[in-house]
């Protein structure tokens, strides 16, 4: 899944942002890997001489130019490096209860667009989807590709990590600092909280079936504060994105 960017370099074509999975250096030539080559050739249908924007996920981006497009090879010229800081000053780790198919894909994509620093898929009691063995690795790779595409589209130059799916209890025990979880029964909202002094916040959002009573108790026992996101009950993907957007508005860079 890849989405072209929004930086226009002519009236007829938008400048596409391409992520490459190895370090770039200015004034060099590279051969695109199979995935990028397919995207350039078959999806974007770029031609020799077309301008692109390149980034390697470690910050900054490079002017680029298509040198060759053929069935067997796509070569790109790497030009001048440009510094671009599109990362939020607020570090956000999002623990996301694993949900079905398109819901999870959508939540990952939009969380990256909203500036999530790290996303951890979580196995929970009420989760409809159960992952084990090879399926865990395959889904993680799938979600990481979605994150890369979201960075290409949104102008981010650093690709957030999609962590290995893990059990909720394991993840909870690893967290510290300001920790919040979505709970429609909570008594307080975000406006009642003091901003994090270290510019870091950990967010937890459940799957389709929500958290069990035991999981809510475990979360609170692990230092997570329940917060209410208004008077309406939100779907799983809506809740995750709402709390992420809200903390970015209050303490990050959306305000």
pLDDT given at position 41:
94
Residue-by-residue pLDDT tens, the chain, 255 positions: 343 333 333 334 578 999 999 999 999 999 999 999 999 999 999 999 999 999 999 899 999 999 999 999 999 999 999 998 899 999 999 999 998 878 999 999 999 999 999 999 999 887 766 766 778 889 999 999 999 999 999 999 999 999 999 999 999 999 999 999 999 889 999 999 999 999 999 999 988 888 899 999 999 999 999 999 999 989 989 999 999 999 999 999 998
Contact 212, 126 (CB under 8 A): yes
Residue 183, token pair as written in the block? 């709970």
pLDDT given at position 13:
55
DSSP 157-180: SBPPEEPPPEEHHHHHHT--SEEE
Handedness of CA 85, 110, 116, 39 (dihedral sign): negative
**DSSP β-bridge partners for residue 181:** 204, 226
Q: Which residue ranges form the domains of the chain, and what is each CATH number?
A: 7-82 (2.40.240.20), 91-251 (3.40.1280.10)
pLDDT given at position 62:
96
Q: How far apart are CA 25 and CA 74, in angstroms?
A: 18
Handedness of CA 32, 38, 43, 47 (dihedral sign): positive
H/E stretch holding 101 reads: helix 101-113
User: How distant, in Å, are the alpha carbons of 59, 152, 173 from that of 103?
Assistant: 29, 20, 26
pLDDT given at position 2:
41
Cβ-in-10-Å burial (0-12, 13-18, 19+) of 141 comes to exposed
Q: How far apart are CA 64 and CA 235, in angstroms?
A: 41
Q: How far apart are CA 99 and CA 162, in angstroms?
A: 15
Contact 250, 190 (CB under 8 A): yes
Contact 243, 104 (CB under 8 A): no
pTM listed for this prediction: 0.88
pLDDT given at position 131:
67
User: How distant, in Å, are the alpha carbons of 17, 74, 77, 121, 250 from that of 39?
Assistant: 11, 10, 17, 27, 37
pLDDT given at position 81:
95
Contact 132, 108 (CB under 8 A): no
């Amino acid at each position: 899944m890849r989405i072209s960017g929004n930086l226009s370099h002519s009236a007829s074509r938008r400048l596409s942002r391409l992520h490459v999975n190895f370090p770039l250096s200015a004034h060099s030539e590279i051969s695109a890997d199979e995935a990028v080559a397919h995207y350039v050739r078959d999806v974007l249908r770029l031609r020799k001489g077309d301008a692109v924007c390149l980034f390697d996920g470690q910050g900054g981006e490079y002017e680029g130019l298509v040198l060759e497009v053929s069935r067997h090879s796509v070569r790109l010229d790497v030009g001048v490096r440009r510094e671009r800081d599109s990362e939020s000053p607020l570090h956000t780790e999002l623990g996301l209860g694993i949900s079905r198919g398109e819901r999870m894909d959508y939540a990952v994509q939009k969380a990256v667009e909203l500036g999530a620093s790290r996303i951890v898929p979580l196995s929970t009691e009420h989760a409809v989807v159960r992952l084990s063995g090879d399926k865990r690795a395959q889904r993680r790779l799938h979600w990481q590709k979605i994150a890369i595409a979201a960075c290409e589209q949104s102008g981010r130059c650093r690709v957030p990590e999609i962590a290995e799916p893990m059990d909720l209890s394991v993840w909870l025990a690893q967290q510290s600092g300001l920790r919040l979880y979505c709970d429609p029964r909570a008594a307080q909202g975000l406006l009642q909280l003091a901003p994090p002094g270290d510019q870091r916040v950990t967010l937890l959002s459940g799957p389709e079936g929500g958290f069990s009573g035991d999981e809510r108790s475990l979360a609170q026992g692990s230092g997570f504060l329940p917060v209410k996101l208004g008077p309406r009950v939100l779907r799983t993907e809506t809740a995750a994105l709402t709390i992420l957007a809200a903390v970015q508005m209050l303490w990050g860079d959306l305000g």
